[in-house]
Amino acid sequence: MELLLETVALFCLKLAYETEDSSPILRDDLLMSDYEREVFGLLVRRGDMEAIQIKVDECLTLALDAVGGIDSVLGRELHRLAEDFSAARTIEQLDAPLIALKGYLKDIQ
């Protein structure tokens, strides 16, 4: 779960901040410090759904802005997937929305 959360955050931050002429954003970049696997691991062990959703929503908001907002084609689908993620009420319910988000974000990179 922690790796999946970190991957979704990484793909969002890549969309938001990575440019063609710059070096790629990596998992160990300072930009990822609040979204590391260990941070998510602690939240998962605590069962802190609210904190997990807030952290991922921060990243998704950046990615949504990067693709042109909710009115763009990419933005509408990203928003729909983000809503599915936000609708989860338990840690176990996060799997399917996270897998869908990861796949979509990877595809639109």
Q: Is 2 exposed, middle or buried (0-12, 13-18, 19+ CB in 10 A)?
A: middle
pLDDT in tens, 42-66: 999 999 999 999 999 999 999 999 9
Instruction: Pick out the chain residues at pLDDT < 70.
Output: none
- Kindly give, in sequence order, each residue whose CB lies less than 8 Å from that of residue 10, ignoring residues fewer than 6 positions away: 25, 27, 32, 35
Q: What sign results for the dihedral spanned by CA atoms 46, 41, 24, 106? A: negative
